A and B are shown apart, each in its own frame.
Chain A
């Protein structure tokens, strides 16, 4: 079945970087966009950006520009989201989500989420 499996929880110190992986299975990897969304404790969903696994092209929301990098490894059908210069406000659950076929901005399959805790 179609699924996205994310890497495990991370604890990082302020100023460090974190790299979260999202492994796709059950569909043709490079034909669907992948979004990244996060949810901080007590807050709502926050869209971070999107990557095209076929071309590697990316688009990031301005809030994370300069700190986020989305990459992919087509040989393992895995997409990565790296966030640098971490601060306490980056403590959140990070989700990857597949873009629905034929749609750029509809997310139809979601990963289970990865908890990132930023603390000294």
Chain B
């Protein structure tokens, strides 16, 4: 049972935009930076966003991140079929002295 809650799934047509939310508390999101990871089944997860809104080299600006209070959001614009994957938020939880991932959101491109 994760301490970070995400909606189970979102879907949209190619070219459209989706947003994925990640809800936590003051012991995690509220006082720590958030990262986002893309995970295609059978492959290694990929870092998309770190420090709430920074993109690693090679990640297109179609992916964006933001944080407000104890929630974080990942946005994907110009949706492509290759974006079909599971997306996880992650951050440090100070109370648990551990890193925690969100429950995951499956993105489907219609």
Contact = CB atoms under 8 A, between A and B. Distances in A.
Interface residues of B, number: 28
Nearest to A64: B98
Interface string B43-57: 111110011000010
Nearest to B105: A44
B44 A113 contact: yes
Contact of A44 (B47, B96, B103): B103
Contacts of A45: 37, 39, 45, 88, 90, 101, 104
Chain A's interface: helix, strand, loop or mixed, by majority? strand
B37 to A, nearest CB: 7
Contacts of B101: 37, 44-47
Which of A44, A59, A100, A112 has the most chain B CB within a 10 Å cutoff?
A: A44
Interface residues of A, number: 24
B35 A106 contact: yes
A13 to B, nearest CB: 26
A110 B45 contact: yes
A61 to B, nearest CB: 4
B91 interface: yes
Interface of B: 2, 32-33, 35, 37, 39, 43-47, 50-51, 56, 86, 88, 90-92, 96-104
Given A95-B45, A97-B45, 19 more contacts: A35-B99, A37-B45, A39-B39, A44-B2, A44-B88, A45-B90, A47-B90, A47-B101, A50-B99, A59-B97, A61-B98, A61-B99, A62-B96, A100-B56, A104-B92, A106-B51, A110-B44, A110-B46, A111-B44
Interface of A: 35, 37, 39, 44-47, 50, 59, 61-62, 95, 97, 100, 103-108, 110-113
